[in-house]
């Protein structure tokens, strides 16, 4: 849960910074957890998108990198 709180805090800071016109704001969406948690040494956060794409994100992933990846995924949707 600590990782989610970290990303929530980092994405919350985005709301305080000016955005480029037409860019999407960060938002949270409902998720459903399925199966057993990953074994030790796995990703700190795993996102499975509606089309089945799975993103495994480590705690060391810079917030800016995650924002860019999510932006690209939104554009291609």
Instruction: Give the pLDDT confidence of 12-67 residue by residue, as tens digits.
Output: 765 555 555 666 666 677 778 777 765 655 678 888 888 788 888 888 888 899 88
Tell me the H-state helices in the chain.
2-16, 63-76
Q: How far apart are the C-alpha atoms of 45 and 43, rounded to whole Å?
A: 5
pTM score, whole prediction:
0.42
- Give me the residue label for tokens 């495994």: 56
Instruction: Report the pLDDT value the prediction gives residue 23, as an integer from 0 to 100.
Output: 60
Q: How far apart are the C-alpha atoms of 41 and 68, rounded to whole Å?
A: 25
Tokens of 11: 């994405």
Instruction: Report the pLDDT value the prediction gives residue 38, as an integer from 0 to 100.
Output: 58
Contacts of 23 (CB under 8 A, 6+ apart): 71
Lowest mean pLDDT among 3-7, 39-43, 73-77: 39-43
Instruction: Report the pLDDT value the prediction gives residue 13, as an integer from 0 to 100.
Output: 61
Contact 55, 46 (CB under 8 A): yes
């Amino acid at each position: 849960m600590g990782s989610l709180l970290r990303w929530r805090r980092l994405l919350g800071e985005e709301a305080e910074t000016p955005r480029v016109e037409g860019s999407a704001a960060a938002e949270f969406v409902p998720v459903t957890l399925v199966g057993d948690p990953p074994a030790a040494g796995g990703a700190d956060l795993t996102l499975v998108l509606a089309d089945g794409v799975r993103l495994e994100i480590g705690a060391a992933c810079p917030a800016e990198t995650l924002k860019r990846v999510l932006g690209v995924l939104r554009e291609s949707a």
